[in-house]
Amino acid sequence: MNFFEAQDKARRNTSWLILLFILAVAGLILLTNLLLLGIHAYSQTDPLAPSLYSWQVFGAVSIGVCLLIFGGSLYKTMSLSGGGATIAEMLGGQLIPQASTEPQQRQLLNVVEEMAIAAGMPIPKIYLLADDSINAFAAGNSPANAVIGVTHGTLTRLNREELQGVIAHEFSHIANGDMRLNIRLIGVLHGILLIGMIGYFILRSLRYSRRSSNSKNGGGIAAIALLGFGLMVIGYTGTFFGQWIKSSVSRQREYLADSSAVQFTRNRNGIANALKKIGGSSGSYIDSSNAPEYSHAYFANGISSFWLSLFATHPPLEKRIKQIDPAWDGKFMASKASQDIPPEVEKASTSDAAKIALSAAILTSAEQAIGQVGTLNEENIEHVHQLIITMPPLLRSAAQDAFSARALIYSMLVVLQKDHQSALSNLSQNVDTVMYTQTRSFLGEMEILQEKFKLPLLELSISALRELSPNQFVQFKIAVDKIITSDLAINLNEWIIQRFLIQQLDQHFGFRKPARSKYARLDQVKNEVATLLSLIANVEHPDSHQAKLSFEAGITQTDIKGLEFQTLKSFKLDTLNRSLDKLAQLKPLVKPQLLKACMATVLHNEKVTIREIELVRTISTCLDCPMPPVPAFTES
């Protein structure tokens, strides 16, 4: 299948379906006005009297309906503003600790970690639902607060290959921005449902007024009853069309996510066999009273109802499998509890010739490098898998626990200081004795740690650090700052760690809001572009002439005239931080041009160092453009 054609078709269809949703809301406005007009005509005692229903009343009713829908939608959306964790807990999910050693949970955590690092995305939290069915979902307002939920049956009935296919499917939803749309659909549907709820409460209130009714007010009560019944019909009619549109949006995006999973893993069998096992097992239903509300976001149909055939949020299993595996014989697979999970082992490393070929394929142009952004491939996933299992065991284990991950970061920063003792002294004043002792215990391993492990360790640590309380995180930030400033200077390596780490955690804990798109052209932020390209050019070029040539190579990708090269001596990291914050406000279609300029600067001398690619990856992360690690870049 052609992934890009499928993506384009699904997105075009989704745009039309969203337009139909807007038209459905307009239909509710019209139906409500017709209902009130009918009640007005029914209640009018003098047929010759002029009608009080006018265009002004029509406008007021229309505004009232819009405010009702908007208010209800806003309320529901705000209640889900806590991110994916709110939805996971709403469905009865329990957080799987990052340090879990239970074999099946550990395998799931490993798969998610590998997939996230290979995609350059934040590692999502994982929630476990008690259901024995096979299902999963991704939820959140942004990748920074995304979670992935899986049922117990997914853990026990799927092997690693199948699990990887399901997780790749969910990562597609994260990468394509489906999660935010899912939450908005929940909010809009709630707003529409309020119309029916008002009608229900009107009818319910009439039960308490019937005892005092008489012949004089009987007509009024009948009119009120008609109003309540009519609003219920309108509300549930709106819900009918809303659910239909929601399910149609979901079906298109499920096809896209399936094709993405195949594209990411280059393995049809993983996701196809997972779907076949759903067909050959007890199904994919989720036993939660809130399951229908998020039905459009599951890996497979999560609810069973009378209207399932009409409101199915997912294509039939047979069609999904056939699209992935055209040669399928139509037989589902038996779903049994999986066997003991073998320990993760290191496979034979890629040959030098293969590495060179991969490097050449990626480094021939900036366009090819930027084509990696927001995507996965089999080589990167396998590379990250090998990278994680060959990390120093002490540090890898430390990165998976919220307490020891802090000590890991402290030690990583301490070894970058000119005076280790001064940095440790500052640290001791801001942490307890146990944390200080653990930090010192990591220093030996950290001093000899290979460069290729540092950024992956940071990414693993970020996932564990999300389990901190807000107060613990604030104290962690203070301690980090004290270490960095202990030598009264901040170097580039320290900045990469601090910016990469703190920005993602700030977003997770709500201290930093996602950047809003503002600038449609690079020339609107030309000073910031010059600062960024100058920094990259200076990283590995002590000779200012060569640095300037690299800077000019990057400029050619921007179409901006008059950018001035800045020497390393003139740099201030505060200026760099402000520049990145402003560049993050570029509109999405402009960001690739900036990243191409960054990569063109790096590729100018046809030699890429780990520090250069770590810098570009940090910049890409700050721009909300996840860039995966490349094996050729990270080999020592």
Residues belonging to the active site: 170
- Residue of 355, 251, 245, 286 whose CA lies nearest to 6: 251
User: 83: phi > 0 → left, psi -120 to 50 → alpha, else beta; which?
Assistant: left
Cα–Cα dist 31/42, whole Å: 16
Q: Which residues contact 464 (CB under 8 A, 6 or more apart)?
A: 98, 99, 399, 400, 401, 402, 405
Q: How far is CA 529 from the centre of its chain?
A: 27
Structure tokens given for 611: 């520090």
Structure tokens given for 355: 């590495």
Three-state SS for 149?
Answer: strand
- Residue of 418, 396, 298 whose CA lies nearest to 346: 396
Structure tokens given for 119: 């995609």
Structure tokens given for 56: 């002004």
Cα–Cα dist 103/449, whole Å: 28
As a three-state string, the secondary structure of 223-245 is HHHHHHHHHHHHHHHHHHHHHHH
DSSP string, 81-118: TT-HHHHHHHTT-EEPPTT---HHHHHHHHHHHHHHHH
Please say whether the beta carbons of 185 and 55 come within 8 A: no
Determine how many CB atoms are found less than 10 A away from the CB of residue 471: 8
Q: Which residues contact 590 (CB under 8 A, 6 or more apart)?
A: 519, 520, 521, 522
Q: Which residues contact 184 (CB under 8 A, 6 or more apart)?
A: 77
Provide the residue type at 482 as one letter.
K
